Amino acid sequence: MQNMCSQAAIADIALFTEQQSDVIEMVARRYPMRVTPYYLGLIREPGDPIYRQCIPAKEELTDASGQPDPLKEDDHSPVSRLHHRYPDRVLLVATNNCAMYCRFCTRKRNISDRTTAITNEELAMVVKYLHDHEEVHDVLISGGDPLTLPLDRLEKIIGAVRSIPHIDIVRIGTRIPCVDPERITEELCTMLKKYHPLYINVQFNSPAEITPRSQRACSMLADAGIQLGNQSVLLKGVNDSPEVMKELVRKLLGMRVKPYYLFIPDMVKGTSHFRTSLETGLQIIHSIQGWMSGMATPQLVIDMENGGGKVPLSPGYMINKEDGKYTFRNFENRIYEYTDFQPCRNPA
């Protein structure tokens, strides 16, 4: 089998019926499909958490809600390939290419875009913009997936960003350790070590994605001194239960990956079948907070439609405030009071 599976190759896999193959082919004409043989091999049955993330579903074509670009990323793009939505940080789209096309992708609109990696001219414009904007201290290199780029090309991009004096933090967003772990090599880790402080945000959404091979990939990155965070998406039928999410965060910590964000799914057209209620997310966080180590608790976040930016969500532990006294409900649903600090006053 080739490095990447396409809808044409699916017909040869015994797991898929003829009817399923027809649906896959029909949907993929609009929203292309790509999945690595490794990730495809994790599927145990149609409709399981792995299947839902990588195999086209007929609901993608019947979704009447959402927008192609709900975060209005293109409205915050001062130069090609760069999104500047927040005051001190930017997103650099290094490539449109991914090892796998996730069916719930925020940038689903770009899946069929044949423009791939950032050009030298585009990179020069990005560098000039960053030089001119000293308020920017943090650059997230994303895509697509930057780790699909050739090693020398990836290093050129990281090196160009790191050369800017006021850039303190460089981050990379990738699903490679999850979907194609063999791409994490000693050569890659040796290169990345040269550009510390460097952070990598991975994405594992299901405990079934954590295998000996993905564990090894994350261990190699951690051994290279790279701090790893995980950005999950809350997905119906994948991880929308406390039991599944608790298993996931426990396994993440076991391979030195800090649960960082749990995203409410973006309002992307063609993805409504993945969405859950906000209350589902809050219940999941409540099931982790206090019952597990604080390191295991991701920040529940909703990225507001129409470019509103990320808003953190948390279960309502404070239930009353009156005259400097606060009433809280703890993780066990017990009630406790706290009296706010009052500075001493000198007698008149």
Q: Choose the catalytic residue: 54, 105, 178, 218.
A: 105
Look at the alpha carbons of 207, 30, 74, 66 in this order and tell me if their dihedral is positive or negative. negative
Q: How far apart are CA 60 and CA 104, in angstroms?
A: 9
Q: How far apart are CA 150 and CA 248, in angstroms?
A: 31
Q: How far apart are CA 195 and CA 151, in angstroms?
A: 14
Q: How far apart are CA 37 and CA 40, in angstroms?
A: 5
Q: Choose the catalytic residue: 30, 58, 74, 86.
A: 86
Partners of residue 326 on adjacent β-strands: 321, 338
The helix (run of H) or strand (run of E) holding residue 130 is helix 120-132
Q: Choose the catalytic residue: 310, 317, 326, 329.
A: 310
β-pairing verdict for 169-173 and 138-142 = parallel
Q: Please confirm, yes or no, whether 216 is among the known catalytic residues.
A: no
Could you tell me where the beta strands, DSSP code E, fall in 189-246? 198-202, 227-233
Tokens found for residue 281:
């997310």
Q: How far apart are CA 270 and CA 65, in angstroms?
A: 8
Q: Please confirm, yes or no, whether 107 is among the known catalytic residues.
A: yes
Question: Which residue in the block uniquely carries the two structure tokens 């929203």?
Answer: 31
Q: Choose the catalytic residue: 107, 109, 171, 175.
A: 107
Q: Choose the catalytic residue: 69, 145, 240, 303.
A: 303
Q: Please confirm, yes or no, whether 5 is among the known catalytic residues.
A: no
Tokens found for residue 57:
């579903």
Residue 238 half-sphere exposure, CB side, CA atoms within 13 Å?
26
Q: Choose the catalytic residue: 72, 89, 156, 269.
A: 89
Q: Choose the catalytic residue: 54, 102, 178, 218.
A: 102
Q: Choose the catalytic residue: 81, 145, 266, 275.
A: 266
Q: Please confirm, yes or no, whether 98 is among the known catalytic residues.
A: yes
Q: Choose the catalytic residue: 5, 54, 98, 218.
A: 98
Q: Please confirm, yes or no, whether 178 is among the known catalytic residues.
A: no
Q: Please confirm, yes or no, whether 266 is among the known catalytic residues.
A: yes
Tokens found for residue 24:
């896959």
* 8-state DSSP, 31: S
Q: Please confirm, yes or no, whether 89 is among the known catalytic residues.
A: yes
Q: Please confirm, yes or no, whether 85 is among the known catalytic residues.
A: yes
Q: Active-site positions? A: 85-86, 89, 98, 102, 105, 107, 266, 303, 310
